[in-house]
Chains A and B, each alone.
Chain A
């Protein structure tokens, strides 16, 4: 934080601290409630009285979730990681190439094409889920991890965001590199991408979360348990006659841990990305 941004008055500083602390508590409360719920008994978690913390911590909720043969969280975990990582890599690749093409390359109908692609954002995803399903089955990808990866490997929204960032890089830099004999490909990877690192980390993270949390599409395109992901595993604890909330919370905690770790690791870049590109979660 620069010197100019510091709050001089101790009172204002204290007020800001209290305000931010309150905000943090509000943000952290759902996580606390999830973890607390994951250690409760079913009776405690459905109690009308607020039980902040279980009388006796039920660690077996986690063992139950992790050792169920009929709902193998280990396999789901592996699949979720494969799908989310590959999907994020593909998305970043298509986003970088798309954003560069629409911001730097000159070709006929570029802006019209871009506007046309932007317009597709107005179509709700539910509208094309059946079309995508038909495409995937005709490609013989039903019941595969690729079926979960490919349809979401390009996003016009992310391309739009990165294009806005690329547009901020001065033309002179591009022209100067051209004079030095630099190709478009080299310029993209040596100049543009390193400069957009924080935006790319943020986009990658958002995409990773979206892929990690996806439920309907992975369920639609998979038939076998060994091709399914964590979000589907959570559904196992709910039935039409009731729900095992304590196990669901334990499962949710397991699901959310990798996301928290990624946030912590890439925290610096996320803040930079938000500050520069105006990205919000």
Chain B
């Protein structure tokens, strides 16, 4: 009798749980459908970002504009959480503690590590739900930004972007003019010009800020394919190895003949460029405030490209975390979509070195005024915003994509440190590292 009673209780419990589950699911789904604009009034969202200094001030302006102008009465409380790594670590801890913010700034590869929590918000359906961004506004977003934000293994959209920097080339215009040098537009021309300058100055003349970027976009510019969102790495396969090797040899030649260099201990090439140690460098368009030319005119131009033009668009994106409250989640999606707003992205771009995520952002008053002021920052930003479609590129996100990036970065770094480095051995080492991930 006792056993029967226990079995009955277990069965009842299972039945109750099943019904409860089904019931709550249908309630949540119904609630999502039933949320109206009125339900959003008074919702306060927590937003963590990684923008320090002037960029942080610009972010505050964007958030303030949202708080003042959004038609739903949503309030966003934004706080800087240090750098990207700090912000990422904090989000990971907060997800474990169940205290994640509603929105966070992060690189897409970091968002991958939020997925197992089940809290990362899938924005795919929200983008077309009639709240927040309109189809016309969505059509204005830079295509490569939209692509990047759905370059996840399942092809769903998990992020939005407010603005991005790109790589550009800064050069000492005074030096170029004095020596009658042509500004390079291709990798080939870049090597030729760098060699000429180094013959004049007797030291490396062209710097590359980011080995991480060069490790991927170098081979791509030479015609190699990198990887896909399923984690398939193509860069060393039979079809791509020749192009990849061509790039490594090109880089090794530049190092061994003494005309290319890395930022090294200077961390960023803006320092050695400002004081005239190097004559040009390829770096982020957002780093112009750190360029302080010492007695020369600085100019900026599009980053030189190879046979397969690819210039990285860089900068963190924004993701949301679900709460189980349909109204709060909808409010979160509305703020995330606001990142694509012309006024928001134009305002952010106007106050930073980033190009706006919306092409219409370049037509806003704030952005146009910032460009009209002139100067190297405005020029760099404008160049970032005017790369032709198809040139801007991004890394697909897959499991261990960050570690793969580092492994490729190690190859170019190793060549920079040892111009006699055995490229085959370095590739073999990178392949072993990636295979062990």
Contacts and interface: CB of A to CB of B under 8 A. Distances in A.
Interface in B276-333: 277, 284, 286-287, 289-290, 292, 294, 315
Interface string A212-227: 0000100110011100
Contacts of B274: 43, 46
Given A142-B99, A239-B55, A129 B93 contact: yes
Interface string B231-244: 00000000000000
A134 interface: yes
A111 interface: no
A238 B52 contact: yes
A242 B270 contact: yes
A133 B100 CA distance: 12
A22 to B, nearest CB: 25
Contacts of A235: 52, 82-83, 86
Nearest to B293: A43
A236 interface: yes
A219 B53 contact: no
Contacts of A242: 268, 270, 287, 289-290
A137 interface: yes
B90 A220 contact: yes
A70 B56 contact: yes
B109 to A, nearest CB: 15
A108 interface: no
B32 to A, nearest CB: 27
B81 A219 contact: yes
Contacts of B46: 223
A47 B293 CA distance: 11
A5 to B, nearest CB: 43
Of A223, A225, A236, A237, chain B has the most CB atoms within 10 Å of the CB of: A223
Nearest to B287: A241
Interface residues of B, number: 45
A136 to B, nearest CB: 8
Contacts of B165: 241
A48 interface: yes
A240 interface: yes
Given A46-B266, A235-B83, A242-B287, A133 B97 contact: yes
Nearest to B273: A46
**Chain A interface residue number, banded:** 20 to 34
Contact of B275 (A46, A137, A232): A46
Interface in A15-62: 41-43, 46-49
B89 interface: yes
B267 interface: yes
B90 A224 contact: no
B186 interface: no
B10 interface: no
Contact of B290 (A42, A48, A129, A134): A42
Interface in B120-174: 165
B92 interface: yes
A239 B52 contact: yes
B93 A42 contact: no
Contacts of A243: 267-268, 290
A243 to B, nearest CB: 7
B69 interface: no
B56 A236 contact: yes
B56 to A, nearest CB: 6
B353 interface: yes
A133 B83 CA distance: 19
Contacts of B353: 241
A219 B86 contact: yes
Interface string B48-92: 101111011100100000000000000000011111101001101
A129 B92 CA distance: 11
B93 A43 contact: no
A171 interface: no
B84 A46 contact: no
Nearest to A42: B292
B184 interface: no
Nearest to B48: A223
A236 to B, nearest CB: 5
A240 B82 contact: no
B258 interface: no
B270 to A, nearest CB: 6
A220 B97 contact: no
B79 A220 contact: no
Interface of B: 46, 48, 50-53, 55-57, 60, 79-84, 86, 89-90, 92-94, 96-99, 165, 266-268, 270-272, 274-275, 277, 284, 286-287, 289-290, 292, 294, 315, 353
19 contacts: A46-B270, A46-B272, A48-B271, A49-B275, A133-B93, A134-B93, A134-B97, A219-B82, A219-B90, A223-B48, A235-B52, A236-B52, A236-B56, A239-B83, A240-B286, A241-B268, A241-B284, A242-B268, A243-B267
